[in-house]
Amino acid sequence: MIMSKEELIHNIEVARERLNTSIDHEDGEVIYLRSVELDKLIEQYIEAGY
């Protein structure tokens, strides 16, 4: 599924906030999974050429 630039930016911001919250309140596994989620979104953004 291809997302618009705006959707990707929104999803990246949400994922970044979730990761930041996780760092303060979750264990290492959750932090890792959220970091991977954020990385995948950033990768999609780069691949799309935005």
Residue type, 8: L
Return the sign of the alpha-carbon dihedral for residues 50, 11, 34, 17: positive
Residue 11's pLDDT is what? 98
Q: What is the pTM of this model?
A: 0.88
Res 50: pLDDT: 86
Instruction: Give the pLDDT confidence of 6-50 residue by residue, as tens digits.
Output: 999 999 999 999 999 999 999 999 999 999 999 999 999 999 998
